[in-house]
Amino acid sequence: MSEVLPPPAPKTAIIRDCGPEGCEVDWLTSRTVVTEVDDVAEFTRFAMDEGWGDGLPLIPPTVERVRAFLAEGGRYPDELIATLPPMQTECTVEKIVINAVMAGAPPETLPLLCAAVEAIADPRFDIGGLNATTGSVVPLLVVNGPIRDVFDIPYQHGCFGGAATLANAAARTLRLLMRNIGGQQLGVSSESVFGNPGRIAGIMMGEWEERSPWKPLAERRGVPGNAVTVYGAMGTMNILDITSHSGPEFLESIGRSLAYPGCNNFSPAVAFGEAMVAINPVWAEIIGRDVPDIADVQEMIWRHASLPLDAFQKRLADSIVAAGRVQADGRVYLTPTPDDVLVYVCGGTGSLHAHGVHSWGTCLSATKAVR
Amino acid sequence: MALGTVLDPSARRVDDIAHPGPPLGPLHGKTIGFRVDIMWRSWDWISALWAAELEAAGATVRFWRAGGRTGEEGARMAEGLKEFLGSIDAAIVGLGNCGSCTGWTIHDALAAAATDIPTIAIVTQNFDDLGHNLARRGGRSGLRIHVLPHPLNERAREEVEQVAREHYPRMLEAMDAAAGAAVSAGAAAA
């Protein structure tokens, strides 16, 4: 049972003296609906009917809950964070908060959520293409800075998925925003053939900066301190190595493993792409000892993440040649330059594995400060 | 059971242009632009055949090839598209034959239509709904979209060219070309 109420009258004056909670001023401008709010299962069914849901339980975004979240989050609800294609719809703080309430995210994650929205809306990231593609790409978030611990963002064991933390609700919020504001709907605006487990509730982790021999990923990308980096991830790929002993050996193992003919990056239809590598802290220590400069680390992975032309089927090889992708050494490289290989440290201390994350294509990673 | 007021988490665009835009009219003397890409050889074959027909009917044809749309290359592409659209009288934009390339096909077709020239987007059947949805979400539900069979790129060149010949007069009709344009061009519609 629900009743749709008319939208509130547009406000002619916004007074900020009273702070984000608004005092007597009604800041909220979203359409309101009267419905069941005590029973999560009942509300979830209602939300699914409205097209708001992701299939998991949703907390009713009551006016009271949204106001409380805003008051704690400390941001004004009418602040425009980004305009998201393809609908060019406005993602305001109010919309972020409503979706965060539904996902169960803690109010203190609001600055992180705003930064993440800024990142996915960066034109470099091509969120419009990512939303529509037949590929299985999903935004993967890497968080740097002290907020990792404040928000309990996983960066050790199982950081790619499985950690029991409220940070998961923040990641889920971004997925809801991509549905509800970005308009990503399977079979309507998204043609993803297989989807991706990360499309359910997102992928978000931190970097284990304290165990990294190199500067934090975001700082290397020009944003020191609290920051979030978004990367278009096609999925994760395990790289097991129980035989290497030195940094160069591990990097060769990682690079060789990343290069396979069916990877999007090798397609002549993809103008360029990136690659991401998560290195466990044990390997990171060994690699950092032998290869202290991160630029050399990237270069060594990049050099090995390449294939000779005869590794491709003839028709594909012909297209690669026609696209001018074969370098002077007769090899085809996964990314245009070593800089396009993103390396960071995370994961458990059990060692043995690296995680490769292939990119979808021309959707380039973006890093934003969390303010 | 308790009722309460919840806030809508979604946002929707409300403005829309339902009109298809100006008709193509006579072909003679027009400069007609093809937007091609780096993905679909089938679209290269089709656009080459259609271009020959259009030239035979007295039109001038220009091509613009879309590449990477982000970073520095993306900036060059945006500039190139703008220049291309400023140099043509009508736009044939393809090919929507995957999710993201349908997204960019519709994006570029909307950009063309926004300059008030006759415009048509070309998609394959599997991406017909996506194309229309994206056009509506882009604020122009009336965008002309012509649908080719799917799968297309998997077919041999001879088959694809047969598809091109069959669809040429239908595409012209969808663009509201002047009556008899296809016939005057000698298109083999059979």
Q: Can you give the CATH number for the domain in which B110 is found?
A: 3.40.50.2300
Residue contact B130–A180, C-beta within 8 A: no
* Radius of gyration for chain A, computed over Cα atoms and rounded to the nearest angstrom: 22
* Helix residue ranges, H only, A270-313: 281-290, 294-304
Q: How far is CA B185 from CA A347, B165, B174, in A?
A: 65, 12, 16
B8 located within any domain = no
DSSP-derived secondary structure letter, A21 = T
- Residue A167: both structure tokens together: 């940070």
Q: Mutate which of B100, B136, B141 to test chain A, going by most A C-beta atoms within 10 A?
A: B100
**Alpha-carbon gap: B177 to the closest alpha carbon of chain A (Å):** 29
CA pair distance A2, A5, nearest whole angstrom: 10
Q: What is the pLDDT of residue A161?
A: 95
Residue contact A36–B3, C-beta within 8 A: yes
For A368, phi then psi, to 5°, come to -130, 145
Q: Which is higher by pLDDT, B13 or A233?
A: A233
Contact A234, A154 (CB under 8 A): no
Q: Which of B5, B69, B129 sits opposite A34 (nearest CB)?
A: B5
The residues spanned by each domain of chain A are 3-122
Closest-CA residue to A351 (of A253, A216, A219, A204): A253
Q: What is the pLDDT of residue A8?
A: 46
- Kindly indicate the confidence band of residue B187, based on its pLDDT and cuts at 50, 70 and 90: very low
Q: Count the neighbouring beta carbons within 10 Å of the beta carbon of residue A131.
A: 28
B4 located within any domain = no
DSSP string covering A224-263, please?
-SSEEEEEEE---EEEE-SS--SHHHHHHHHHHHH--TTS
Q: What is the pLDDT of residue B179?
A: 73
Q: What is the pLDDT of residue A311?
A: 97
- Kindly indicate the confidence band of residue B129, based on its pLDDT and cuts at 50, 70 and 90: very high
Residue contact A87–B71, C-beta within 8 A: no
Q: B107: which chain A residues are within 8 Å (Cβ-Cβ)?
A: 85-86, 128
Could you state, in chain order, the average pLDDT of each consecutive group of 10 residues for chain A (371 residues)?
50 54 69 94 97 97 93 88 86 97 96 98 93 94 98 97 95 97 90 93 97 98 98 96 97 98 93 96 98 98 98 94 94 97 97 96 94 93
Contact A179, A54 (CB under 8 A): yes
Q: Which domain holds residue B139?
A: 31-180
B188 located within any domain = no
Burial of A125 (0-12, 13-18, 19+ CB in 10 A): buried
B74 located within any domain = yes
Mean pLDDT computed over B11-39? 94
Q: Mutate which of B3, B5, B7 to test chain A, going by most A C-beta atoms within 10 A?
A: B7
Closest-CA residue to A265 (of A217, A232, A229): A232
B57-69: pLDDT as tens digits? 999 999 999 999 9
DSSP string covering B93-142, please?
EEEE-SHHHHHHHHHHHHHHHHTTS-EEEEEEGGGHHHHHHHHHHTT-TT
Contact A175, A202 (CB under 8 A): yes
Q: Which of B3, B7, B129 sits opposite A61 (nearest CB)?
A: B7
Q: What is the pLDDT of residue A2?
A: 53
B69-110: pLDDT as tens digits? 999 999 999 999 999 999 999 999 999 999 999 999 999 999
CA pair distance B142, B149, nearest whole angstrom: 21
CA pair distance A254, A302, nearest whole angstrom: 9
Residue contact B134–A86, C-beta within 8 A: yes
Contact A206, A148 (CB under 8 A): yes
Contact B119, B144 (CB under 8 A): yes
Per the listing, tokens 């290195």 go with A279
B22-31: pLDDT as tens digits? 999 999 999 9
- Residue A163: both structure tokens together: 């950690």
Residues with Cβ within 8 Å of residue A315, at least 6 apart in sequence: none
- Terminal Cα distance for chain B, rounded: 66
Contact A231, A276 (CB under 8 A): yes
Burial string for B14-34 (b: 16+ CB within 10 Å, else e) reads eeebeebbeebebbeebebbb
**Alpha-carbon gap: B38 to the closest alpha carbon of chain A (Å):** 5
Q: What is the pLDDT of residue B76?
A: 96
Q: What is the pLDDT of residue B30?
A: 97
**Alpha-carbon gap: A287 to the closest alpha carbon of chain B (Å):** 31
Q: What is the pLDDT of residue A16?
A: 61
Q: Which of B6, B8, B129 sits opposite A37 (nearest CB)?
A: B6
CA pair distance B168, B51, nearest whole angstrom: 10
- How many domains does chain B contain in total? 1
Residue contact B9–A176, C-beta within 8 A: yes
Burial string for A338-352 (b: 16+ CB within 10 Å, else e) reads bebbbbbbbbeeebe
Q: Which of B8, B12, B68 sits opposite A362 (nearest CB)?
A: B68
Provide the pairing of β-strand A227-233 with A366-369.
antiparallel
B3 located within any domain = no
Q: Which is higher by pLDDT, B182 or A77?
A: A77
Mean pLDDT computed over B164-186? 83
